[in-house]
Amino acid sequence: MRTSAFVYPWDVVGDPAAPARIAALGVEQVTLAAAYHSTRALTPRHPRHRVVTAEHAAVLYPPGDHWAGRTLRPYPAGDWAPGDAYGEAAAALAEAGLDVHTWVILAHNSRLGAEHPDTSVVNAYGDRYPWAPCIAQPATRAYLVDLAAEAAVRPGARGTELESLGWYGLAHLHAHDKTAGVALGEAGQYLMSLCFCPACRAGYGERGLDPEELAAAVRTALEPVWQGAAPSDGGWAGVEKLLGETMAAVTRAWRDDTARTLQEAAVAAVRAAAPAGFQVLLHADPVSYHCGANAGVDPAHILSVADGVVVPCTGGAGLLTPFADQDRAGAVLAANLTIVSGMGGRPDTLAQDADRARSLGATELRLYHVGLASDGDLAAVRSALAGL
């Protein structure tokens, strides 16, 4: 199985030993961040630092001149990835014999929401989610499509993986997060992720729902959840139970259509900018109403648009099945497995997990994340890949 390892530019820049060390794991490819959200990351082997703080979402290369004068445009990185950090890292990794694909984070940007609050998802209570750009807004969609094309097609890249190309909602790994006081199940998460910005209100209205009545219905449905008197789990049936079948169906249709058309536009823009043979994958969840980094998609649709998907499989590889069931010839189904023990990964069972993923349809593996992993984790990875 072809295997790719996720890498940040700061794992490589300033560490001459990094490319050979990554290649020695037995991977053929790296998925190198070209546009990334804010983070605080360990670099346990770097000769110059141990912690990198990326203060805001940024492109990790110099953004193009075509952004000049636009209100929404990508932010250059600070001292955590100065200049063309992506390009420098990519060149070093390619010299070590590794294929380089870009890793592009799209609809997840807290600085964008802080500086342009009108771009953010707004819940039924009027609270804004600055980390979650509303993908229904025309200006935001144009920004995301153009960013996808630029960040994906960096010089020398053979493909890209587009993450967060869909709805983001309440769930967010935010610093000092304090949102677990009430157990919001899948249905509650959905209701708290519905957007009520002007663009979404208009979308609901075009589909026959009064947005004020819908927002009131969401608040009413959630009240017993806040009180602990009613559960909010049960998947889509739970959403229908809380909100009613009609309202639930209309909101999902609006959100599914909005995400699908954005995904189509972004992939088309990448293909237009890319050389022949350039591979385009999406980080994806096969349940279309799910929010987050692994965007909810319709498996049949997305495999007709992109070359394949990257699917989270650390907790089990079952999410591969709806994609494999499409039986689409040539589609890449990459099983994403966390290899960092301290982040819930299981490098010691990588070989077994890979075999299980392959039995469920995986054609490739992704390893998250070789820059964050300990030496012991990497030793387990080397051993597992040698036996695959």
Query: Average pLDDT over the chain, rounded to whole?
Result: 96
| Whether pLDDT at 178 is above 90 | no
The mean pLDDT of 268-291, rounded to a whole number, is: 98
* Per-residue model confidence (pLDDT) at position 183: 79
What mean pLDDT comes out for the span 49-65? 97
What confidence score (pLDDT) does residue 172 get? 81
Mean pLDDT within 294-302 = 98
What residue ranges define each of the domains in the chain, with the CATH number in brackets?
Answer: 2-179+256-386 (3.20.20.80)
Give one word for 292, left, alpha or beta, with left for phi > 0 and alpha for psi -120 to 50: left
pLDDT in tens, 211-229: 999 999 999 999 999 998 8
Whole-number pLDDT of residue 228: 86
Residue 175 pLDDT exceeds 90: no
Please indicate, yes or no, whether the overall pTM of this predicted structure exceeds 0.75: yes
**Backbone dihedral region of 373: left (phi > 0), alpha (psi from -120 to 50 degrees) or beta?**
beta
Cβ(193)–Cβ(121) below 8 Å: yes
- Alpha helices of the chain — where are they, by DSSP H? 9-12, 18-23, 85-95, 110-115, 138-152, 186-193, 198-206, 211-226, 235-243, 245-273, 299-305, 321-324, 350-359, 375-386
pLDDT at residue number 174: 65
How many percent of the chain have pLDDT more than 70? 98
Predicted pLDDT at 109? 96
Q: Is the peptide bond before 369 cis (omega within 30 degrees of 0)?
A: yes
> What is the mean pLDDT of the segment spanning 77-94?
98
Sign of CA dihedral 308, 314, 317, 318: negative
pLDDT given at position 177:
72
User: 103-136, pLDDT tens digit by residue?
Assistant: 999 999 999 999 999 999 999 999 999 999 999 9
In terms of Cβ atoms closer than 10 Å to its own Cβ (0-12, 13-18, 19+), residue 51 is exposed
Mean per-residue pLDDT, 344-364: 97
- Tell me the mean pLDDT in the region 294-309: 98
Of the listed ranges 137-151, 156-170, 181-195, 243-257, the least confidently predicted one is: 181-195
Is pLDDT above 90 for 179? Answer: no
pLDDT category of residue 230 using cuts at 50, 70 and 90? confident
d(CA 366, CA 156): 20
Q: Which of 86-90, 181-185, 199-203, 219-223 has the lowest mean pLDDT?
A: 181-185
CB contact at 8 A, 11 and 43 = yes
- Listed residue (73, 102, 99) closest to 9, CA to CA: 102
Query: With 80 as the cut, is the pLDDT of residue 340 above it?
Result: yes
- pLDDT level of residue 182 (50, 70, 90 thresholds): confident
Pairing of strands 308-312, 120-122: unpaired
Question: Which among 96, 134, 128 has a CA at the least distance from the CA of 114?
Answer: 128
